[in-house]
Amino acid sequence: MEKIRIGIIGYGNIGSVHAQSIASGLIKGLELTAVCDIQECRLNQAKESFPDVGLFADYRELLDSGAVDAVLIATPHYLHPPIAVAAFQKGLHVLIEKPAGVYTRQVKLMNEAAEKSGRVFGIMFNQRTHPLFRQARDMVRTGRLGRPKRLVWIITNWYRTQAYYDSGGWRGTWSGEGGGVLINQAPHNIDLWQWIFGLPSRLRAFCYHGKYHNIEVEDEAAIYAEYKNGATATFLTSTGESPGTNRLEITGDLGKIVIESGKLRFWELAESERSFCFTDRTGTATPPYTYHEFEPQPAGNAHLKILQNFANAILHGEELIAPGHEGINQLQISNAAYLSAWNDSWVDLPVDDDVFFEYLKERIEKSEHKETLSCEPVKLSGYQNRWEIKW
């Protein structure tokens, strides 16, 4: 069987685990042939685990080497787009870790390069594989939930201690990470929000920088968004709350779904609320509904599914679960949320790329990010629980 030779760029927490998954044959059709990291100690660790793969300290050398057909980019956020662009220029397939980048301007360049190359471009939005969110998307997209009215997601279970932010100089800084909970922890949820419910037309956000932690960036955010079709959305997130909550509620004129505690509950109306509202003569009645519950079996590792889907897309033309060019949607929301909070005003979507970048640059320039590359050994013990959906 034909195999795709893949190189991993960025051999850190997640890159090392992806490398292990591929090298141990968990992904049909993928073969690990190269690892790239700027730190020698990391490369030594990779060499110990995978003695036969090519090792590179500079991603450009890896891209030029001819050793790979595809790359998986698991570097710090800012570097996702430039490395992806270079890889597309070499005609390679690309899978990037989330987020797509930090600001929409750089991500647009990446999307253009991807399109021009015609190569497969995926993004690691692994939570899109979860049956509950797939079900929610289906119900919205097929119209079973009716005309969308409201989405409320309380996703405050991204708790982090101060020690977490102190564990890397880049963490919690504008220059290192380019944001806080909206760019590091909640991108999955923001992506699911837009994937299920669509992109809003404007939003108003409140972000609190360093509210609970000694960090530059936001560790609490509240977003209120409006849609052209009249729907509204509220999104609440934080890394300072414990025990947090993960509860997604979506209302349409044919009912309501609530995803919470690993379960989807569905109240299905017998008729559209919109017609009931104007035909009821009692003044006090509510339309009847039937209640359904959906609790899927644990369905295997989500990261592995995205990796397998990426391989299948290259080898067999399978449709991508998370096409790379959709990564910008999450940033449209999070960039707009930052602009809204910084300017204390509404922001229309899509955001003005240049205006956002100017604002971000100011913060990058004042950032106290200290380059402290840590070289603690990576733990090749598989995907960690913290990367799974928490209820």
Cα Rg, the chain, nearest whole Å: 22
Q: Rounded distance, CA 208 to CA 186, Å?
A: 15
Residue among 20, 129, 194, 251 that touches another protein (CB under 8 A): 251
Binding of residue 269 to another protein (CB under 8 A): yes
Calculated CA dihedral for residues 184, 186, 191, 196, nearest 10 degrees: 170
Residue 226 or residue 353: which is nearer to another protein going by CB? Answer: 226
Provide the H-helix boundaries in 122-263. 131-141, 162-166, 187-197
Contact 340, 346 (CB under 8 A): yes
Residue 284 found at the interface with another protein (CB under 8 A):
yes
* 182 close to 264: Cβ distance less than 8 angstroms: no
Burial class (CB in 10 A: 0-12, 13-18, 19+), 13: middle
Tokens for 342, please give them. 């910084």
| Angle CA 183–186–192, to nearest 5 | 115
Interface stretch with another protein, choices 61-69, 253-261, 328-336, 362-370 (CB under 8 A)? 253-261
Closest separation between CB of residue 225 and another protein, Å? 10
> From the CB of 343, what's the least distance to another protein, in Å?
13
* CB of residue 348 to another protein, shortest distance in Å: 15
Query: For the purposes of burial, counting CB atoms within 10 Å of the CB of 262, is it exposed (0-12), middle (13-18) or buried (19 or more)?
Result: middle
285 contributes a contact to another protein by CB under 8 A = yes
Query: HSE-up of 384 (CA within 13 Å, CB side)?
Result: 10
Whose Cβ is closer to another protein: residue 1's or residue 163's?
163
Taking CB under 8 A as the criterion, the residue among 78, 276, 357, 359 binding another protein is 276
Tally of CA atoms within 13 A in the half-sphere of 45 that contains its CB: 22
Q: How far is the CB of 272 from another protein (least distance, A)?
A: 11
DSSP 104-136: HHHHHHHHHHHHHHT--EEE--GGGG-HHHHHH
Q: Which listed range, 52-60, 95-103, 120-128, 144-152, lies at the site for another protein (CB under 8 A)?
A: 144-152
x/- mask, another protein, residues 317-356, rule CB under 8 A, reads ---------------------------x------------
Q: Within 184-213, which residues bind another protein (CB under 8 A)? A: 204, 206, 208, 211-213
**List 282, 297, 316, 381, residue binding another protein (CB under 8 A):** 282
Residues 10-39 contacting another protein, CB under 8 A: none
Rounded distance, CA 362 to CA 175, Å? 10
Question: Which phi-psi region, left, alpha or beta, contains residue 172 (left: φ > 0; alpha: ψ -120 to 50)?
Answer: left
Q: Which of 184, 238, 309, 330 binds another protein (CB under 8 A)?
A: 238
Q: Which is nearer to another protein, 142 or 214 (CB)?
A: 214
Q: Interface with another protein includes 242 (CB under 8 A)?
A: yes
Contacts of 185 (CB under 8 A, 6+ apart): 158, 160, 237, 239
Contact assessment for residue 287 and residue 299, using Cβ atoms and an 8 Å cutoff: no
| Residues 154-173 close enough to bind another protein by CB under 8 A | 154, 156, 159-164, 167
Shortest distance (Å) from residue 312 CB to another protein: 32
Cis peptide before 99 (omega within 30 of 0): yes
Taking the least distance from each CB to another protein, the nearer of 91 and 230 is 230
220 binds another protein, rule: CB under 8 A: yes
Q: What is the total count of residues that contact another protein (CB under 8 A)?
A: 56
Q: Which residues are within 8 A (CB) of 3 and not within 5 positions of it... i.e. 6 or more apart?
A: 29, 30, 31
Among 57, 270, 277, 375, the residue binding another protein under the rule CB under 8 A is: 277
289 binds another protein, rule: CB under 8 A:
yes
Shortest distance, position 285 Cβ to another protein, whole Å: 7
Judged by the rule CB under 8 A, the positions of this chain that interact with another protein are 149-150, 152, 154, 156, 159-164, 167, 204, 206, 208, 211-213, 220, 222, 224, 226, 230, 232, 234, 236, 238, 240-243, 245, 247, 249, 251, 255-256, 258, 267, 269, 273, 276-278, 280-287, 289, 344, 384, 386
